[in-house]
Structure 1
Amino acid sequence: MNDTRKRTAGYAVLVVAAGLNLRHPITSVASTLDAVTRHYGLGPPGVAVLSGLPVAMLAAGAVLAPALERWWGVERTLLGLAALLTLSVALRPASLTALFVGTVVAGLAMAGLSVLVPQMIREHLGGRIGWWSGVFSTSFGVSAAVGAGLTIPLVHLTGSLSLALSLWALPACALTAMAASVVIGGTPHRRAASAPAPSCARPTLLLGQVTAFFGAQAFVFFAVTGWLTSIYVDRGVPPMQAASLLALASIAGLPGSLGVSVVAARVRRQHWIIVAVSTGTVIGLVGVVWAPAVLAPLFVVTLGFCQGATFGLAMALIVLKADPSRPVAPFSAFAQGVGFALAALGPVLVGLVRWAGLSWAYAGSILIAVVVCQAIAGWTAGRSVVPTTSLPQPMEQPS
């Protein structure tokens, strides 16, 4: 294997490793939310803030990432963010203050990674954008599933909630090591001085449509991720079984995320795909909130598959709809930054509905309305076509 292929393989592994660390810091807490509430003595407002805080930080971090990338380059910035993620996840269970501070830092780091990886895909893996966008978004689902499914068993195994949450720093540490190997073993890509990267994306109707679609799907995803376990616990499902349903939803999203991303990259217009998966999301939400609990696996799988597909579409649209003549990072930063800012309202709003004593039907109705907005934004964005012939191929770098 020559040096170019080795570097390409290194970037491919880094894409997967990054994705595998972008959801477990959230779902590990979400799946143990009742235990976290008791352990740290959180009141209802604190729980609502803790649920929405990671998403709010995803918005802030998405805006900051392009500036860091201009100073340090994609690879070095990714290395620094991976190290921050490792430290924040390791230290946040230490106390109530550390829990909130660590959640802030972890959210910022995850946002930066999420913005930079699409740039890396187009620069170094551009020959198969649909495939690698799908792999990246699918690895999010794996991260979410593992975080949701293993945290409670880790609590039982270690006898400590704090230790179980701290152990999720290990995969982040592995990501840091991989990023360091790419930085040390290769020549980080830098843009020519005559073509500096823009600090922000040019506002266009298409950018607004992609942003609205990304924000709506993230709003629903994080609301479901934060509260699905509590919904089923309130409906009489044992806590461990309820947490396993959250893991099941994440697992069900894996084939949807990968398969739909690949299909989306092969067609010029994606609007019908977006409408189809949005319809499936509505069906899943209706089943989760109103159907008998005995049917939970059926509707959780439906919801998880369609949410995974929707997220895969959102990440693919960022790469596919960005101007091929300009870096994708500013487009990605705007879509994810504003989108996550909207999404931060999801878990907070659902939490306030719960603590106001209202039934889950109110929360379900809100989420269904957001999915309708998601379908409208996705329809308009998916119908738009941008030139694709000038997308870069994987770069050859000097040995």
Structure 2
Amino acid sequence: MADTFVKQRASVRVLAGGGLLGVAVVLAALNLRPAVTSTGSVLGEVRTSLGASATWAGALTTVPGLCFAVAGSIAPWVAKRIGLPAAVSVALALLTGGLVIRVLDGKLVVLGGTLVATAGIALANVLIPVVVKDAFPARVGLMSGLYTGALQTGGALGSAVTPGVDNAFGGWRPGLASWAVLAGVALVLWMIGARTKPGLPDTGPVPEGGPRSLLRNGLAWTVTLFFGLQACLAYIVMGWLPAVLMDSGVSRGDAGLLLGLISLLGLPVSLFLVPLAARSRSQSWWVVALGVFGLAGITGVMIAPGAAPLLWSIGIGIGMSVFSLAITTITLRSRDGADTARLSGMAQGFGYLLAALGPFLFGLLHDVTGSWTVPFVLLLLTSAGQMILGWFAGRPRFV
């Protein structure tokens, strides 16, 4: 009887620890976008306050994408050296510290703090899927849905809440610094949750011949290009769609609302579709189905942007929800946490480099041709390529 009671208490502790870690994962994910989106929402005020140039503003908005690519690629190495729980703690500590640093002084400090914060985000971007894979093997779909839903919610909150905090507390510095509080809470909860979850592993043993490389693995490149193309499409839409809609007669306010709607549509897809897709043997048809909506919306904006902008935006938003499946595919195409870390680092490292080219090429094509038609052909090709690669990435195989 006593042994049974002890086992029951141990089981309760394990369940409680797993639940606390799950909350920590979601809260951490909630912090991985506001550092970026909050800056955009007050960028004009920041430039005016600091006397900064447009070139400086361009550098500030470019830093996150480059950090996602560079710092994300070393995340598996960091986790191998200090262990997965400690590596995530370092990531959240960098994020918290960077958010504080960037509001303390002038232009260089803002850039430096943003660099530190986004380096922390890049590490967490790669490592959190490993936590999902190793700590919740029976609930990968559910946790992936919650994780990606929290990412998208955090991004929307960053742009929506920061101006209000700015107005309430008298400036952009408290508006941006307020996100350090949420990041600090996430760090504390993560450190507690990682301790109470028994057996949370590191990234796995290193094979005798050294760490395994995925650079010659065809499936790994398929997943990487799938992730990169969907991110490229998202970067183009977020950066250019409002301008396209305003050129067709949509007001600035309505264009902003439509862009917000596109972001929010990813939340229900993450919460409800991803768990279903993860339980399927293959995710290929799910990727294609979402892609069809995206193609329809892009085509509508290309042909008649002002005719039904709400309908086109809904189609694009549903199509861009494939981001949730791209993240989930990383965990489903790997056998263990070690391979998840390697695949996540490769997909996000190379993928975000590819994504960074998208908005530049879109704008260049618009400048060269003087119209939106050719840039939208690029967008259609990107969407079609994402669907094709997503079909192959979604098939039930392992790297």
Inter-CA distance 332–125: structure 2 relative to 1 (3 Å threshold) = same
SS of residue matched to 2:221: helix
Corresponding position of 1:114? 125
What's the CA shift for 1:35?
4.5
- For the pair 1:176 / 2:187, whether they are aligned, the reply is yes
What's the CA shift for 1:238?
5.7
Corresponding position of 1:390? none
Q: Deviations over 1:218-277 (max 9, x none)?
A: 112123234445555666666555443333222111112233322221222222221221
TM (norm. structure 1) is 0.85
Question: Which amino acid in the other structure matches residue 151 of structure 1?
Answer: T
CA contact (8 A) 2:68 2:122 kept: yes
Report which of the two structures shows the higher radius of gyration computed on alpha carbons. 2
What's the CA shift for 1:334?
1.1
Pick aligned residue for 2:166 from 155, 163, 173: 155
TM (norm. structure 2) is 0.85
CA contact (8 A) 1:206 1:384 kept: no
Corresponding position of 1:333? 345
Whole-Å Cα distance in 1 between the matches of residues 393 and 251 of structure 2?
Answer: 41
Corresponding position of 1:29? 39
SS of residue matched to 1:201: coil
CA contact (8 A) 2:232 2:358 kept: yes
Question: Which amino acid in the other structure matches residue 384 of structure 2?
Answer: V
What's the CA shift for 1:13?
0.7
1:271-310 → structure 2 map (5 Å cutoff): 271-288=284-301, 291-293=304-306, 295-308=308-321, 310=322
Question: Which amino acid in the other structure matches residue 79 of structure 1?
Answer: S
- For the pair 1:125 / 2:141, whether they are aligned, the reply is no
- For the pair 1:315 / 2:366, whether they are aligned, the reply is no
Structure 1 residues not aligned, in runs of 5+: 388-399
CA contact (8 A) 1:48 1:351 kept: no
Question: Which amino acid in the other structure matches residue 115 of structure 2?
Answer: V
What's the CA shift for 1:352?
5.2
Q: Deviations over 1:320-364 (max 9, x none)?
A: 111349542112111111111211223444455677795555543
Corresponding position of 1:394? none
What's the CA shift for 1:178?
0.9
| Greater RCO structure (CA 8 Å; 6+ sep) | 1
CA contact (8 A) 2:295 2:319 kept: no
Q: Which range moves more in the overlay, 131-140 or 240-249?
A: 240-249
What's the CA shift for 1:287?
4.2
Corresponding position of 1:373? 385
Q: Deviations over 1:272-317 (max 9, x none)?
A: 2212212222233344566445743333233222212x11110111
CA contact (8 A) 1:51 1:226 kept: no
Structure 2 residues not aligned, in runs of 5+: 1-8
Whole-Å Cα distance in 2 between the matches of residues 186 and 130 of structure 1?
Answer: 19
Corresponding position of 1:60? 70
SS of residue matched to 1:203: coil
Inter-CA distance 69–386: structure 2 relative to 1 (3 Å threshold) = closer
Question: Which amino acid in the other structure matches residue 380 of structure 1?
Answer: F
Pick aligned residue for 2:29 from 6, 19, 22: 19
Q: Deviations over 1:164-207 (max 9, x none)?
A: 22222222122111122234545663457686893643631111
- For the pair 1:167 / 2:167, whether they are aligned, the reply is no
CA contact (8 A) 1:131 1:262 kept: yes
Corresponding position of 2:6? none
SS of residue matched to 1:268: coil
Q: Deviations over 1:52-95 (max 9, x none)?
A: 32111101121111111112211111111111101212332442
Question: Which amino acid in the other structure matches residue 352 of structure 2?
Answer: F
What's the CA shift for 1:47?
4.0
CA contact (8 A) 2:21 2:197 kept: no
CA contact (8 A) 2:263 2:317 kept: yes
Pick aligned residue for 2:149 from 118, 138, 149: 138
- Over the matched positions of the two proteins, sequence identity in percent amounts to 30
CA contact (8 A) 2:135 2:200 kept: no
